[in-house]
Amino acid sequence: MRLRCTWSLAVCFVLCASLAPAEPPPGSDLESVLNQMDAAAAAFRTTEAEFVWDQYQKVVNETDTQKGKVFFRRLHNETEMLAEITHPDQKYVLFADGKVRVYQPRIDQVTEYAAGKNKAEIESFLVLGFGGRGHDLLKSFDVTYEGAETLDGVRTARLALVPKSQKGKSMFSRILLWIDLQRGVSLKQQLFEPSGDHRIARYLNIRMNQKLADNVFRLKTTSKTKVVSPQV
């Protein structure tokens, strides 16, 4: 159970703060939003943001909250991600080179997951979040435009996504995105798991297309760090 939750955690962070439209006109439909996402994807280079992530676990009827910062960049036509969790415990989640690595400084251990047979699903979620063309969503998801909604005083467009593949559905049965129509980023995401668990992610102080140092996307391990690679 813990291994599955850690893998889902890593996938969730691969999703994070979606890059989206530049500013569709009020009342725009799905096609208009997707067209704007296509335009935004062409300009995507990096994103940096703070996050608050609430995970609800149905079996115990409890919600855990994690906070931190997330960084994304496009490098050689691929997207890398590093999430730095600072609350309640320090943890780093890195997605690069087709692997997800979770580093826990407290125990000085890296847990490494190869995307393997899940690579197509992971990549489709990754494109969803950062720099992916809007119309590419239609390859992996059934997408519905659910209209405009005001979130924290900001006008957003809400999209509902349902994975088309069974592997995708086994991770997330449904995903909601609240896209800031003015800045072109996702302010909120809600991810529903088949188990009844769900996660809500909010993004703050978003900075786009600013230069990020290469060492941001490296785990700051020690010479004694233990690396484990569980089978999932």
CATH code where residue 79 lies:
2.50.20.10
Tens of pLDDT, residues 52-69: 999 999 999 999 999 999
What is this structure's pTM?
Answer: 0.81
Tens of pLDDT, residues 88-118: 999 999 988 888 899 999 999 999 988 777 7
Range of the domain at 114: 2-228
Work out the average pLDDT over 207-216: 92
**Predicted pLDDT of residue 159:** 92
**Predicted pLDDT of residue 34:** 81
Tens of pLDDT, residues 25-54: 443 588 888 887 777 778 888 989 999 999
**Predicted pLDDT of residue 69:** 96
Give the chain's domain count.
1
- 3 state SS for the chain: CHHHHHHHHHHHHHHCCCECCCCCCCCCCHHHHHHHHHHHHHHCCEEEEEEEEEEEECCCCEEEEEEEEEEEEEECCEEEEEEEEEECCCEEEEEECCEEEEEECCCCEEEEEECHHHHHHHHHHHHHHCCCCHHHHHHHEEEEEEEEEEECCEEEEEEEEEECCHHHHHHCCEEEEEEECCCCEEEEEEEECCCCCEEEEEEEEEEECCCCCHHHHCCCCCCCCEEECCCC
Share of the chain above pLDDT 90, in %: 45
Higher pLDDT, 104 or 168: 104
Asked which of 109-118, 140-149, 155-164, 215-224 is least confident by mean pLDDT, the reply is 109-118
